[in-house]
Amino acid sequence: MNKVKFIYNPYSGENTIVTDIDKVIAVHQKYGYEVVPYRVSFEYDMSKAFEGMDESYKYILVAGGDGTVDTAVNHMKNLGINLPIAILPVGTANDFAKFIGMPENVEADCEQILNSRPKKVDIGKVNDKYFINVASTGLFTDVSQKTDVNLKNTMGKLAYYVKGIEQLPNFRKLKIKVKSENTYFDGDMYLMLVFNGRTAGNFKFAYKAEVDDGLLDVIIIKAGPIKDMIALFIKMLRGEHLENTAGLMYFKTEKIEVECHENIVTDIDGERGPDFPLVIECVKEGIEVLGIRD
């Protein structure tokens, strides 16, 4: 019998996957698959999830948010596991899963996955770590890392907004140097976002992004008067097009190099990223994904 490695995070989002496990198994049994579960927890991290896998496993099913999927992809790449991956979006934002068209219903997800063919999609890489949706640095980028897990599970996206408001007193210019094949920026900024996906916190910022174009979408919000920045953020949150917008750079690239000597962190899909300097690149067709809606 064909097997599916099912990695689930019971703490993701509103903990709904805990009550939906039987649905996952039932749908897979209908299609002739044996589900082999692995529960991610504080005691048992992702590193042991891939032990004992052989040719009987046909794909890896991950239930969680962007951070859980990100961690699974990093382990797979580091272990040389090239099986297709599929996503059950049960986290808080689920940005990448929404980007590829996964519904927010476990049974519908499983049906869509099992009736699909693997498709090669791009992933991002920052130094030696991979990411599926977005890498960022600057103001607010450590919000997810600082947000208490219990608060995140209880309040969902609102928890991020609460934590973001707490950081407003830290609003300051950040000196950064960014270099790509066709773009160069050496100046002050507030925030930089490098997208493999399209959204962050369900806000569509990188509206030009494609799942398999071999390019990353880079957005740099330059430092400027606070009143102008507020207007710019409102425009971004409304999903308006950003071409020729004062105070903002938006470009596509295969690779960028980033230097910064400020006391700021980087963030990869809601988890702590590498320290500067950074080399951020698109790994074209870096993984195979099941369930993508055309």
pLDDT score for 173: 85
Task: Kindly state whether residues 150 and 272 are assigned to the same domain.
Answer: yes
Task: Kindly state whether residues 63 and 140 are assigned to the same domain.
Answer: no
Task: Kindly state whether residues 156 and 260 are assigned to the same domain.
Answer: yes
User: What pTM was computed for the model?
Assistant: 0.89
Task: Kindly state whether residues 11 and 141 are assigned to the same domain.
Answer: no
Task: Kindly state whether residues 225 and 191 are assigned to the same domain.
Answer: yes
Of the three residues 80, 115, 150, the one that is the final residue of a domain is: 115
> How many folded domains does the chain comprise?
2
Along the 294 residues of the chain, how does pLDDT read in single tens digits?
A: 899 999 999 988 878 999 999 999 999 999 999 999 999 988 888 989 999 999 999 999 999 999 999 999 999 999 999 999 999 999 988 999 999 999 999 999 999 999 999 999 999 999 999 999 999 998 766 555 554 555 444 444 444 444 444 555 556 789 999 999 999 999 999 889 999 999 887 788 898 999 999 999 999 989 887 667 777 777 776 767 666 677 889 999 999 999 999 888 899 998 889 999 999 999 999 999 999 997
Task: Kindly state whether residues 161 and 270 are assigned to the same domain.
Answer: yes
Residue 82 lies in a domain: yes
Query: What domain range includes position 268?
Result: 129-284
Peptide bond into 84 cis (omega under 30): no
Q: Which residues contact 65 (CB under 8 A, 6 or more apart)?
A: 9, 12, 13, 89, 90, 91, 92, 93, 94, 270
Query: Under a CB-based contact definition with an 8 Å cutoff, are residues 280 and 194 in contact?
Result: yes
pLDDT score for 146: 53
Task: Kindly state whether residues 91 and 171 are assigned to the same domain.
Answer: no
